[in-house]
Structure 1
Amino acid sequence: MWFPRSVCELSENTSFVGGFDWYEERVSNTSSVYVKDKRTARAVFIQSRHQMNSFLFEGALRQDNIQGLDNEVTYNLSAGYQPNADWLLSISQGTGFKAPTFNDLYWPGGGNKDLMPEEVKSTEILIRNHFNNGILEVSIYDSEIDNLINWAPDASGVWHPENIDNATAQGVDFTFALQTGDFSHLVAAGYVETEDKSTGKELLRRPKVTAIYTLGYQVDALTANLVLDYRGESKDNKYSAVTLNSVLLTDISLSYQLSDKLSVSGKVNNLFDRDYTVAEHYLTDGINYQLAATYTF
C-alpha cells in the first residue's frame, strides 16, 4: 500500500491537503477457485479547510479507480458555526460508494460479475459540545442509496447478489464520552429507519437500534476495557419471516506496557457465550480468546 500526501497552508486560516492512494486486494486462504482473485485500486484526492471568524468551511473531492469497475467521483461539503471553543453546529452533504467484494462478483456458482458499486448521498446536521472532562455529540442524517447490493435466493434456492434495491435511511447517532479519574466512559448509540424503495419494507439485517458502552480503566502501565455491545432485532430474508433476535455481547480486555517497546495484551470476546446470528445459517463465534505481544523497533 502507498498513501503519499502533502499539506499546503496558504494562510493561518486556510489549508489544502492533496495526495493519492494505491493498494492491491487479493483473495487468500480459500479452497474455492475465483475467476479473478486480485485487483488494484488507485485514487487521487484534495481537501480544503477555511476558518472565517466563527465559521468553518471544509470541502473534499476524490476520484477512485478500481480495476474492473468504473471510476467513482465523490465529494463532501460542510459548513460549521462555532459560537465559542466549546460548541459546534454544522451541516454537511456528501457522496460515497461501496465497491462489490470478490464474493459479490466472483463467488463460485453465485457471484455476479455485472454488479455496480453501491452509491450513497447523505445530508447531516451535527451538534457537538465539549465540557469539563467530556464531549457530547448528536448527529441527524438522511441518506439515499442507489444500486444497493442485496443477496437473495432465486426460485431454485440459489443465493446470488443483484443491484435490485434503492433505499433510504434516516437516523440519529449519539456519542457521549466522559473521563472520571482513572476511568473513561464512552457511549455510542444509534437509531435508524430504513426503507427498500422497491418493496416499501425495511432493509434486511440492519437493526433499528444499536448501542455500545465502553468502560476503560488506566493506571500506570495497565489498561483494562469492558465493552457492552447491543444490536437490536432485524429482518433477515425478504422471502421468509425470519427475524434475527437482539443480542447483548460482552468483551473484556487487558494490556500491560512492559517497556517503551514491548507490550502484552489479552482479550475475551463474547464473555457469556451468547448464541446469536447476524445472518440466517451463518455461524458466529461463541466465547473466544486472544493473546498478543507487540514489540516496536
Structure 2
Amino acid sequence: MKPSTKAMPLRVCARLTLAALATSTFSVTALAEQESLDAMTITANRMPTENVLAPNTVITRADIDRLQINNLPSLLSRFPGMDISNSGGLGKNSSVYLRGTNSDHVLFLVDGVKWHSATSGGAAIQDFPVNQIERIEIVRGPRSGLYGSEAIGGVIQIFTRQGKNQDPTPYASVDIGSHNTKQASAGVSGGNETTRYHANFSHQSTNGINAREEDNPDHDGYRNNSVSAKIDHDINKDWSVGANFLRAQSQNHYDSFSLTEDFYADNIQQVMGVNSRYQFTDNWLMSFNLSESRDESDNYADGTADGTFNTRHRFFSLVNTFMLSKQQRLNVGLDYDNDRIEGTIDYDETSRDNKAIFISWQGHAGNHSWLLSTRHDDNEAYGEETTGTAEWGYQLTQALQFTANVGTAFKAPTFNELYYPDVGFFVGNPDLEAEKSKNYGVGLLGNTDWGTWGVHAFQNKIRDLLVYQFPTTENVAEAKIKGLEFDLATTLMNWQVQFNATVLTPEDEETGNKLPRRAQRFANLHVDRQFGDWLIGGSWKVSDYRYDDAANNTRLSGYGLVDFRVAYQIDNDWSVKLNAMNVFDKEYQTVNNFNTLDRTYMLSLHYQP
C-alpha cells in the first residue's frame, strides 16, 4: 500500500505525482517500479536525496517513450528553462541555453562523468543516443559550489540504462520515418539480489534535409551507432561496485560556405568508468569514482582530411558522506580532473589539471530545510576559484513550500580561447580569467488534490564574459539575466496534462542588447490519455522571436509547433507507435540561414516483455 502523499515532504509528493503522470497503465511505459526512485535525485545535492530545494526536472524513460522524441536536443527543449538552437536538423550542431546563459554555461554529466569538448567548450548533445537513456536530471541554477566549472546555468546529468532484479529480459524496437529515417535498438536487462546488468545496441540514420538555406543544395545525412553496458554488484551489505561504458560513433554531413565541397565529420562520444561505495559505519559512507570521457572529431572535405579535434577527460572523485543525525547530512569530497587534447592544430599547451575540494551540509528541522555548499578549485591554466551555494526552504503548509537561494559559479576558458596558435585573425590568450556569476532566486511550490505546480524567479549576473576582440579573446563583457519559470502537472477529465513556461530578459549590460539565439518567452504543453489499449497524446511548443547576432541586427521569428502521437498495445509484449512532429509544417530557424525539420512522421514497433 502506498503511503499517503499528505504525510510526505512537498518536494517528494510533487515528484511522485509527476512520476504517476508519466507512467500510465499503458504497459509500453510500465515503469511503475521506478516510482520510488523518481522521488530520489542525485544531481542537485551531489548525493541521493528526497529533499531538493533547487529548481529541478527529472525526465524518466517513461517520459521519453511517451513523448516519442528521437533526439536529445528536441527532448530537452520540452522542459522548463531549456532553449535550443539547431543548425540543420537531426544530428546537426545543437546548443542548449539553460535559463538564458551561454551554451557552454551548462555542465553535462553522463553517469557522473563530465562530458564536454575542451576545445570548443560545449557537449555534442546532438550525438547522444536517446535509446541509451534511463533518466535525465536537470538542475536549474548555479552548481559550481558542488561541481566546479561550467555550472553557471545549471547541470544536466544523463543516466544510461541500468539493470533490474529480474530474469534476463530482452527488448527491441524498429522505427522508420520521414527523410528515410531509420532506427533500431536491442538490449537485455537482468539481475538478482546482488547483481544487476544491462546492455544495449542502437542505430539511427537519416538522409536529412538541406542544412543551409542557400549553400550546397543537397540533403545532409546523419548516421549514429551506439553501444552501452552497465553492471552493478553488491559484494556484501556494506560494499558495492559498478562499471559503465557507452560509445556512440556518428557521421554527420554538413554545409559550409563552399558551393561544391562535400563536408562531413566522423565523431566519437565515449564515457566509461568504475565506481565503489562502502558503508564504514551506520553514519559514514565513502564513494569512489574513476572515469574517462572522450570527444573526438575528424573532419573531411571531399574525402580529404580537414582537421582533427580530440578531447580526453579523466576524472577521479572521493566523497565522504556523514549522517550527523536523521535530519542532517555532511558531504566532504575531493575531485581531480585532467583534460588532454590532440589533433591537427598545434596548441601551445595540450594538457591541464584541476584539483578541487568541496563540502556541503544538508538538513531539515521542523518546517525549515537547507543546503550550504562551498568548493575551491585550483587549475594550473587559469588559477583558483572559490564558489558556493546557500539554499533555504520553508514549509508554509502541508501543501505549500517557499524556497530562496543564492549561489556563485564560474566557467573556465577553453583550450581554443587560451592556447590556439596565431592564424592571423585569431590567437589564444593565455592571460584569460574564468567567467564568473552570482545568482539569486526564490520559488513557491504547491501540491493540491488536483496536481502539483511551481513558480521560480531568478536573477543571474555574469561578469568577465569572454568576447572576441580582434585578434584574440578578452574578459570584457557583462550580462544580466532575469527570469520567471512556471510548471504544472495535473489530470483533467482523464487527460494527463503537463505545462511549463519560461520568461527571460537576457541582456548585455553594456549595450542593452539581447543575448543572441535566446528567446525571451517559450512554453510547452503535453496532454495524454489512455483509451483501453490505446494511448493518445499531443504536444504544443511555442517560442518567441530571438536575435541571431550580438548587435541584434538579425531577428529570427518566433514559432509554434504541434505534435501528435498514438500508441497501441497489441498484447503483453508487443506495441506499435506513430508520431507526427510539426504537423502544420511550420518553417522556422533558430540559427540564421540554417533550416530546421519540416513535418515528419515516425512509425515504430516495440517488443518489451
Paired with 1:276 and 1:240, the residues of 2 have a C-alpha distance of: 18
**RMSD, aligned α-carbons:** 4.2
Match of 1:25 among 291, 294, 300: 294
CA deviation map 1:121-159 (0-9, x unaligned) = 211100011001311211110101234456x8979xxxx
Deviation at 1:237, TM superposition (A): 1.9
Q: Residues 35 and 170 from structure 1, CA distance in 2 versus in 1: closer, same or farther, beyond 3 angstroms?
A: same
Q: Residues 262 and 209 from structure 1, CA distance in 2 versus in 1: closer, same or farther, beyond 3 angstroms?
A: same
Which residue pairs with 1:173 in the alignment? 485
Match of 1:2 among 262, 267, 273: 273
Residue segments in structure 2 that go unaligned for 5+ positions in a row: 1-271, 320-330, 332-359
Which residue pairs with 2:442 in the alignment? 125
Paired with 2:535 and 2:466, the residues of 1 have a C-alpha distance of: 40
Which residue pairs with 2:553 in the alignment? 241
Kindly provide the amino acid, as one letter, of the partner of residue 311 in structure 2. K
Deviation at 1:273, TM superposition (A): 1.4
* Structure 1, 67-76 or 168-177: larger mean CA deviation: 67-76
Kindly provide the amino acid, as one letter, of the partner of residue 78 in structure 1. E
TM-score, with length taken from structure 1: 0.75
Paired with 1:72 and 1:140, the residues of 2 have a C-alpha distance of: 27
Match of 2:451 among 120, 125, 134: 134
Q: Residues 18 and 183 from structure 1, CA distance in 2 versus in 1: closer, same or farther, beyond 3 angstroms?
A: farther
Q: Residues 221 and 167 from structure 1, CA distance in 2 versus in 1: closer, same or farther, beyond 3 angstroms?
A: farther
Residue segments in structure 1 that go unaligned for 5+ positions in a row: none
Q: How many residues align?
A: 287
What are the residue-to-residue correspondences of 1:265-284 with 2, within 5 Å? 265-284=577-596
Q: Residues 34 and 57 from structure 1, CA distance in 2 versus in 1: closer, same or farther, beyond 3 angstroms?
A: farther
- Higher helix fraction (1 or 2): 2
Paired with 2:380 and 2:534, the residues of 1 have a C-alpha distance of: 45
Q: Residues 60 and 67 from structure 1, CA distance in 2 versus in 1: closer, same or farther, beyond 3 angstroms?
A: same
Paired with 1:36 and 1:67, the residues of 2 have a C-alpha distance of: 22
Paired with 1:209 and 1:256, the residues of 2 have a C-alpha distance of: 35
Larger relative contact order (CA 8 Å, sep ≥ 6): 2
CA deviation map 1:224-279 (0-9, x unaligned) = 33111111012222346211111001123334566777665443222211111112
* Structure 1, 193-202 or 242-251: larger mean CA deviation: 193-202
Q: Residues 21 and 101 from structure 1, CA distance in 2 versus in 1: closer, same or farther, beyond 3 angstroms?
A: farther
Deviation at 1:100, TM superposition (A): 7.0
Query: What is the SS of the residue equivalent to 2:309?
Result: coil
Q: Residues 213 and 162 from structure 1, CA distance in 2 versus in 1: closer, same or farther, beyond 3 angstroms?
A: farther
Kindly provide the amino acid, as one letter, of the partner of residue 599 in structure 2. I
Q: Residues 144 and 54 from structure 1, CA distance in 2 versus in 1: closer, same or farther, beyond 3 angstroms?
A: same
Query: What is the SS of the residue equivalent to 1:199?
Result: coil
Deviation at 1:63, TM superposition (A): 7.1
* Structure 1, 82-91 or 22-31: larger mean CA deviation: 22-31
Paired with 1:154 and 1:119, the residues of 2 have a C-alpha distance of: 23
Residue 289 (structure 1) aligned with residue 289 (structure 2): no
What are the residue-to-residue correspondences of 1:93-132 with 2, within 5 Å? 93-97=406-410, 114=429, 118-132=435-449
- Higher strand fraction (1 or 2): 1
Q: Residues 69 and 39 from structure 1, CA distance in 2 versus in 1: closer, same or farther, beyond 3 angstroms?
A: farther
Which residue pairs with 1:57 in the alignment? 370
Query: What is the SS of the residue equivalent to 1:27?
Result: strand
CA deviation map 1:41-85 (0-9, x unaligned) = 537474542110010112345678999887776543211100332
Maintained 8 Å contact 2:514/2:550: no
Query: What is the SS of the residue equivalent to 2:312?
Result: strand
CA deviation map 1:14-58 (0-9, x unaligned) = 999966574413134743744532231537474542110010112
Deviation at 1:186, TM superposition (A): 1.4
Query: What is the SS of the residue equivalent to 1:124?
Result: strand
Deviation at 1:117, TM superposition (A): 6.0
Kindly provide the amino acid, as one letter, of the partner of residue 201 in structure 1. N
Kindly provide the amino acid, as one letter, of the partner of residue 400 in structure 2. W
* Structure 1, 60-69 or 267-276: larger mean CA deviation: 60-69
